[in-house]
Amino acid sequence: MPCVRASDGPVAVTGASGFVGSHVVLALMKRGYTVHGCVTDLAHPAKIDHLKAFEDRTPGHLELFRANLLEDGSYDAPFAGCSAVLHVGTAMAYGGANNSRQVYEGAVEGTQRVLASLERAGSIRRLVYTSSFAAIGHPAPPGYVFSENDWASQNRTGDPDWSLDRIDVNGETAYAMAKVETEHLVNRTALADGGFDAVSVCPLVVLGPLLSPAHHLVFSWQWFLGRMLRGKPCKRAWQALWNIVDVRDVGEAQARILESELCKNGDRYQLSATDRSGELNVNQLQEQLQTLFPRIAVGGAPPEMDEYLAKYGKVYDAPRAYCDRARRELKLETHPIEDTLRETGQSLLDLGLIEPALR
């Protein structure tokens, strides 16, 4: 399919008010696109005010639409006349908002509804689907370097958790299985339709500037970083690595995919660390944050770390993964890890979302 430009007409973004979705909208509006932003609640200031403010700082234009992944035909109106769709929205479990089955069914059935509206529109040339590294990562030896050729369904022989029968009791499996299934679904649908192509992005640990209080989702990566700035011990992925990508780079990559003449149906881009500087264990993360915020007593490893190290000797050397393809094919210029961490923490402070543990 031909690439898309701002002059080709509006583009639609699902999940436009979310952490990633907001940065996708911003990247597009910086390029002068008219964006049809799809949100679940048009009356919620924390979900729309920051989006409306983009019009004052970009040459683009924003039109907001109410749409919901759980409602048939919900995307018919926002997709009408659009040249592309960036499907970012999905059901998440942050703060107990959804159980694992709702996460799975919301992703799969919601994407089916998005595809149905897309095909009814008849004008869409490219779909950019926000998948996840959860659709890539699979059981592998420590130090294994993942790429776009990997799928989470690999190396699962004899794994009792990798089963639809287990999604009610294993949220991580439910999310990973949903992302694998939906990636295959969008590619298969685009191939059968023939009128549009589908390209996926697979972000890993997404950090960077929060644009709204609504982005401070309980148990998200940015929430746990904020917890460390509150002087509390890290409680997520402390046994392994935080493999970090900047949310601004995730938004920029999606805009570049729209305009790329190289992209074709079924392509996927792993959005992860630029190099080893973006793969941090909990002690390295604490050290970097302490340097960036010297007046704050930054929390570090939890008490359980001593027992873990006594048993295993070191943190698990995973996930190793790099955004080489995006940098090579999309010419993506990534933010330094120090900038990503600084902007994450500073935005949490500026928005008044955390009370820092001052020294």
Q: In the numeric block, which tokens belong to residue 216? A: 């401070």
Fill in the amino acid letter for 163. S
Q: Could you give the dihedral angle defined by the CA atoms of residues 4, 324, 178 and 78, in that order, rounded to the nearest 10 degrees?
A: -20
Nearest to 291 by CA among 245, 248, 337: 337
Gap between the Cα atoms of 256 and 249, Å rounded: 10
Say which residue the tokens 């287990």 belong to.
166
Task: Measure the CA angle with vertex 134, ends 130 and 136; round to 5°.
Answer: 95
Q: What are phi and psi of 264, to 5 degrees?
A: -140, 170
Gap between the Cα atoms of 356 and 345, Å rounded: 10
Q: Which are the contacts of 329, defined by CB distance < 8 A and separation ≥ 6?
A: 260, 262, 263, 269
| E-state strands within the chain | 11-14, 34-39, 61-66, 84-87, 126-130, 145-146, 197-203, 205-207, 242-246, 268-271, 279-280, 320-321
Return the SS3 of 188: helix
Gap between the Cα atoms of 293 and 288, Å rounded: 9
Q: What is the 3-state secondary structure (H, E, C) of 97-139?
A: CCCHHHHHHHHHHHHHHHHHHHHHHCCCCEEEEECCHHHCCCC
47 in catalytic set: no
Q: Which are the contacts of 72, defined by CB distance < 8 A and separation ≥ 6?
A: 113, 116
Of how many residues is the chain composed?
359
Which is the catalytic residue, given 30, 47, 52, 179?
A: 179
DSSP designation for 221: H
- Which residues are catalytic, by number? 179
